[in-house]
């Protein structure tokens, strides 16, 4: 029987982390930690959630969740995106979202910008999450990416005064000025 230190953590290890006010994620078995988000970050996330709920929570479209909620992609990949849209109710369990949701959204913070644009984007793409949006409070922009051949391609970039529309989401029209006020 082999003994030694565990080098790749799993969901059980993740669940054993004591609560301390920080956000923990597990990417390919490695723990990632970020401080709690700022009030500005939370305001933007909350406002975007309300806009998305108006669209997605019409009967049969889906459900919008906000952080903290575990998105369990594999036993070694557990993330907490700022916002998650699920269109398959079977993915929602007592533990969290189990499997690839339709859309994950990250609101950038100074401490997470590089991580959200690279490491997390790569893991999300590797697990086939169809849509990934990045919200940048500093530039007041939203970039919408679509999964394509194990990576993401930009399908739309929207500025502070724009109305966000998306080719894969018929009828979606999000007036972005309300996010930044």
Which CATH number is 114's domain given?
3.90.1570.10
| pLDDT (tens digit per residue) in 5-16 | 778 899 999 999
Q: Is 113 exposed, middle or buried (0-12, 13-18, 19+ CB in 10 A)?
A: middle
CA distance 181 to 108: 17
Please report whether residue 113 resides in a domain.
yes
| pLDDT (tens digit per residue) in 43-80 | 999 999 999 999 998 888 999 999 999 999 999 999 99
Please report whether residue 22 resides in a domain.
yes
Q: How many domains does the chain have?
A: 1
Please report whether residue 110 resides in a domain.
yes
pLDDT at residue 4 above 90? no
Please report whether residue 1 resides in a domain.
no
Please report whether residue 123 resides in a domain.
yes
Model-level pTM?
Answer: 0.93
Q: Secondary structure of the chain: what % helix, strand, coil (to 5)?
A: 25, 35, 45
Please report whether residue 176 resides in a domain.
yes
Reduced 3-state DSSP string for 82-144: CEEEECCHHHECCCCEECCCCEEEEECCCCCHHHHHHHHHHHHHHCCCCEEEEEECCCCEEEE
Over residues 108-112, the mean pLDDT reads 90
Q: Which domain holds residue 88?
A: 11-180
Cβ(91)–Cβ(71) below 8 Å: no
Please report whether residue 4 resides in a domain.
no
């Amino acid at each position: 029987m082999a003994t030694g230190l565990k080098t790749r953590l799993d969901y059980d290890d993740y669940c054993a982390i004591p609560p301390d006010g920080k956000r923990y994620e597990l990417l390919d078995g490695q723990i990632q930690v970020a401080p709690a988000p700022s009030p500005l970050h939370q305001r933007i996330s909350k406002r975007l959630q309300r806009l998305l709920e108006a669209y997605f929570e019409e009967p049969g479209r889906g459900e919008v969740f906000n952080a903290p909620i575990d998105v369990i992609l594999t036993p070694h990949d557990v993330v907490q995106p700022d916002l998650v849209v699920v269109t398959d109710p079977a993915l929602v369990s007592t533990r969290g979202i189990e499997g690839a949701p339709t859309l994950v959204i990250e609101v950038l913070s100074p401490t997470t910008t590089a991580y959200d644009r690279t490491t997390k984007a790569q893991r999300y793409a590797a697990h086939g999450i169809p849509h990934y949006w990045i919200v940048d409070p500093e530039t007041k922009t939203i970039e919408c990416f679509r999964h394509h051949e194990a990576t993401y391609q930009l399908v739309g970039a929207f500025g502070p005064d724009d109305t966000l529309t998306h080719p894969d989401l018929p009828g979606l029209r999000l007036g972005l000025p309300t996010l930044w006020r």
